Structure 1
Amino acid sequence: MTKTPFQNTLISLAVLAALAASASAQAESVRFATFNASLNRDASGDLLSDLANPLATGGVSAAVANRIQQAHNIAEIIQRVNPDVLLVNEFDYDQNGVAGSSSVPSAAGYSSQAAKLFQDNYLSTSHGNAVRGTTSGVDFAYRYTPTTNTGLASGFDLDNNGAVGGGNDAHGFGNFAGQYGFTIYSKYEIVGVRTFQNFLWKDMPNNLLTNDPTAGANNLANYYSPAEQEALRLSSKNHVDVTLKIDGQEVHFLTAHPTPPTFDGAEDKNGKRNYDEIRFFKDYIEGAGYIYDDQGGTGGLAADARFVIAGDYNADPSDGDSYASAINQLLNATLVNTHFTPESAGGTQAATDPHNNGTANASQVGDPKFDTADFSDSAPGNLRVDYVLSSANMNIEGGGVFWPVDSNQTDTNNTGELFDLVGTFRNQNLYANLPSSDHKAVWLDVEIAPVPEADTWAMLAAGLGLVGFAAARRKSDK
């Protein structure tokens, strides 16, 4: 029996619906995470030695043993979150096992020795105990460790104290070259890298270095000399675009760690730099033409690019010391999907924990369930400063903040429960005032639709052709 044009149209539409349903069913949920893990160390080379000695053998001191245990706690948290793509902030840089950094960008695919040691000796091994259960190792097939501006001497007296040298006079604060760097782990192939370590602050249009609206001596154009303004880099560490190949799709993982908007004076140089560091990625996702990278390329992302922004941005939407609510530049950007905000019950509980050493949390505006950092409760209090933000052209399936609830707020956080991995400020202190980090791991589950295979494209084209043919037949029959 010959089918009518109308029947052919229905069949074609059914084919198209089936193809769409198939693509949706095959869409992959990918977990992107960021974790300021406080794996920086106080002396150059200490991170390498810590990660090379996971069993703390050789008669190490109690302080070293605590640092090694802290690294194990960090690894266990990562295993429990089990991300597919991970940014680790505050991870000291080395070049093939030699501690330090440089202004020459790391080659695509470069992994520092510390990043490899952390994978082999910590992430790949089981952790946990009988109370909270044990974990399985997590393996990342791909890594990238970018160079960092932290600790690199600028040659200028940037803090205006009358002497040149030290962390405050580096391109980015660091007591030694490479301190506070970051590294990226991925289960998906890294197919491209752009870094912006050497981008000059003055080259951002309407920047706060040369266009500071502040009057008088606290205007940055007055605070910094003309020579310093010519040489200052925007990124306190680095801004990095790592392109991942996920089910045939390219997804840009945009990573950074802007400077804290504190540790300065009335001029608020760090607050203003933090603002422009955050603004850089807003401009980047909007395709700004002024941008140039360390590899010789120019411009930002394409209009239809898929991206995930991740990192410790040192800026809370409503609390803390950030300049002009800096993070809202990203949170209010039309290209960013903010329909979902990661949260935790632990953040809510921590705001009123009896161990708190101050009352700053009580005067805050933001909901503590969104907090991601356990800072001193005298000031600034707990804040939301760590972000994983998806582009608006991707669906978010969920996410969270690794901040478990404390089942007993009167104990010393050493019973072995899950909460003991995060602890409270200065209660169970292994390194940096906590058993793991003052920041919590944050993750977002994003739906990545695959690129249809060749035969699927052929079926889709055929279906569209049938629809067009049927429509033409119907028109000619009238």
Structure 2
Amino acid sequence: MQSAPFALATVLALVLSAAPAAANDTTVRFATFNASLNRDASGQLLSDLANPLATGVSATVANRIKQAHNVAEILQRVNADVVLVNEFDFDFKGNPTASSDAMALGYSSEAAKRFQDNFLSAPHGHAKRGFTNGLNYAHRFTPNTNTGLASGFDLNNNGSVGGGDDAFGFGNFGGQFGFTIYSKYEIVGVRSFQTFKWKDMPGNLLTNDPTNNKLTDFYNAAEVNALRLSSKNHVDVTVRINGQDVHFLTAHPTPPTFDGAEDRNGKRNHDEIRLWADYIAGGSQGAYLYDDQGGKGGLAAGAKFVIAGDYNADPLDGDSFKGLVAGTNYNAINQLLANPLVNTKLTPSADGGLDAATHPSNNGNANQSHVGDARQDTADFSDSAPGNLRVDYVLPSANMTMSGAGIFWPADPDRNASNNTGDLYDLVGNFRDANLYANFPSSDHKAVWVDVQIAAAVPEPSSWALLAGGLLAVAGLARRRRQV
């Protein structure tokens, strides 16, 4: 049996070890990368990632596999602790598909596993830009997706049912343009909103369209009742870091283009972004939300979160739903950027965006009319329209401290040189590079990251009370023994 002094020392040690200390703060890097790891046909990503050496394939396939290596090297150089990879084709246990089934905590697609094992875990680089080490993520989660999932309706009103435009989310096959999450920290919970109906959002732009081209004139009643809000999925991936839970809020709203005067994609994009604004507000504002797991409501007050993804909306430029409409001023992405619950003290930037705005490879002058700072652009789009835009975001909650932010977009060191010299720039390249998969060495989007400080968890008041009670009890025991 322990002596009273020993027991007292034990309890005291527990109390002291539970006390917060600034030295235990951890710098955690969160990132997003629309990596263009989607493929043109079902199953291609799986086969590409199974063949990292590009053995016995055509030049076209070899270019696809090289692109995956470049994506892996970029991710290794960013070295995020938690990262969302957008445009990553979904599969269920190696079967390329999509369904309405919510994936269980811990689910990782076969493609996500192959990308880890065959690409992220392998070193990359060049003698000129240096070499990277393998990057290993102990935890993954791959959610299901609405992309390519047949709706059974003629959603684009072209007179026939079928094809990508008539899916719940655009995709030429089930699972195209999905996404996956990699984490060095344990994933302890997931909530997904794949099947949430657009009409069930109060004040939505589907049934409360303020424009003259109303969506209820474009969609029939059955379609309105069936339409899902999320074009892919909205997923809260809860990561435990330093004893604290951080909600990694991941999504990829539809581009606000590829439609007509009714602007169905622009309005959907606005409300997809709004979902997270309501979710982080919680309380009565988020009470209407229901997830695929049967839960309701948004985040609890004071919860820590990081919103990440390709949101296809620039605050100043591009085609997202914004401006004064029927007396109301709309701005899709400002629902997050101007949100007091979101920390925007640091804005990621890179010299590459400024360089790309006037690069000789450009095919138009749209960038010259842009209002936004080109250094903050995250995507190298067609320069005739819409031009380069800021569309990829990593936004921590206001109750977290940001200590750094950036975009992986190096400037071209030599505009007259080909993009095979070994420079860091060769990983991102010029718009419309010839003889490459999708015309880029990696993606038209760039990896974006932020660093935040996460302190060691502070015990709840009940825990402190329990420890104090134990301390008093041991002190009382010691007193009684002295009296015997």
Matches within 5 A, 1:81-230: 81-215=78-212, 218-230=213-225
Counterpart Cα distance in 2 of 1:429 and 1:398: 36
Q: CA deviation at 1:427?
A: 2.1
Match of 1:80 among 58, 77, 80: 77
Q: C-alpha offsets along residues 203-253 of structure 1, whole Å, 9 cap, x if unaligned? A: 0000000000112xx200111000000000000000000001101100000
Partner of 1:13: none
Q: TM-score, normalised by structure 2?
A: 0.89
Counterpart Cα distance in 2 of 1:461 and 1:152: 53
Match of 1:240 among 235, 251, 260: 235
Match of 1:327 among 329, 333, 346: 333
Partner of 1:254: 249
Match of 1:402 among 380, 402, 408: 408
Partner of 1:57: 55
What is the SS of the residue equivalent to 1:229? helix
Q: CA deviation at 1:23?
A: 2.0
Counterpart Cα distance in 1 of 2:273 and 2:433: 33
Q: CA deviation at 1:352?
A: 1.0
Counterpart Cα distance in 1 of 2:18 and 2:390: 38
Counterpart Cα distance in 1 of 2:155 and 2:125: 45
Counterpart Cα distance in 1 of 2:114 and 2:370: 40
Q: Is the 8 A contact 2:32 2:392 kept in 1?
A: yes
Q: Is the 8 A contact 2:20 2:458 kept in 1?
A: no
Q: CA deviation at 1:452?
A: 4.0
What is the SS of the residue equivalent to 2:437? coil
Q: Is the 8 A contact 1:413 1:419 kept in 2?
A: yes
Q: C-alpha offsets along residues 21-68 of structure 1, whole Å, 9 cap, x if unaligned? A: 96222100000000000000000000000000000002x111100000
Counterpart Cα distance in 1 of 2:226 and 2:204: 14
Match of 1:273 among 268, 271, 276: 268
Partner of 2:479: none
Structure 2, gaps ≥5 residues long: 1-15, 323-330, 469-484
Partner of 1:293: 291
Change (3 A) 1:268 1:128: same
What is the SS of the residue equivalent to 2:439? coil
Counterpart Cα distance in 2 of 1:405 and 1:20: 47
Counterpart Cα distance in 2 of 1:174 and 1:352: 32
Confirm or deny that 1:432 pairs with 2:466.
no
Q: CA deviation at 1:142?
A: 0.3
Confirm or deny that 1:42 pairs with 2:48.
no
Q: CA deviation at 1:348?
A: 1.0
Partner of 2:25: 27
What is the SS of the residue equivalent to 2:21? helix
Counterpart Cα distance in 1 of 2:129 and 2:449: 21
Counterpart Cα distance in 1 of 2:261 and 2:161: 21
Q: CA deviation at 1:433?
A: 1.8
Partner of 2:474: none
Matches within 5 A, 1:291-370: 291-324=289-322, 325-370=331-376
Structure 1, gaps ≥5 residues long: 1-17, 463-478
Partner of 1:444: 450
Q: CA deviation at 1:428?
A: 4.6
Matched letter for residue 28 of structure 2 = V
Q: CA deviation at 1:103?
A: 0.4
Q: CA deviation at 1:176?
A: 0.2
Counterpart Cα distance in 2 of 1:459 and 1:298: 32
Q: TM-score, normalised by structure 1?
A: 0.90
Change (3 A) 1:311 1:429: farther
Counterpart Cα distance in 2 of 1:379 and 1:429: 23
What is the SS of the residue equivalent to 1:209? coil
Q: Is the 8 A contact 1:23 1:452 kept in 2?
A: no
Counterpart Cα distance in 1 of 2:431 and 2:352: 13
Q: CA deviation at 1:460?
A: 13
Matched letter for residue 250 of structure 2 = T
Q: Is the 8 A contact 1:414 1:428 kept in 2?
A: no
Q: Is the 8 A contact 1:412 1:427 kept in 2?
A: no
Matched letter for residue 340 of structure 2 = T
Q: C-alpha offsets along residues 375-411 of structure 1, whole Å, 9 cap, x if unaligned? A: 0111111100000000000000001000012110111
Matched letter for residue 446 of structure 1 = V
Q: CA deviation at 1:356?
A: 1.1
Confirm or deny that 1:282 pairs with 2:277.
yes
Q: CA deviation at 1:458?
A: 5.9
Counterpart Cα distance in 2 of 1:272 and 1:75: 34
What is the SS of the residue equivalent to 2:85? strand
What is the SS of the residue equivalent to 2:450? strand
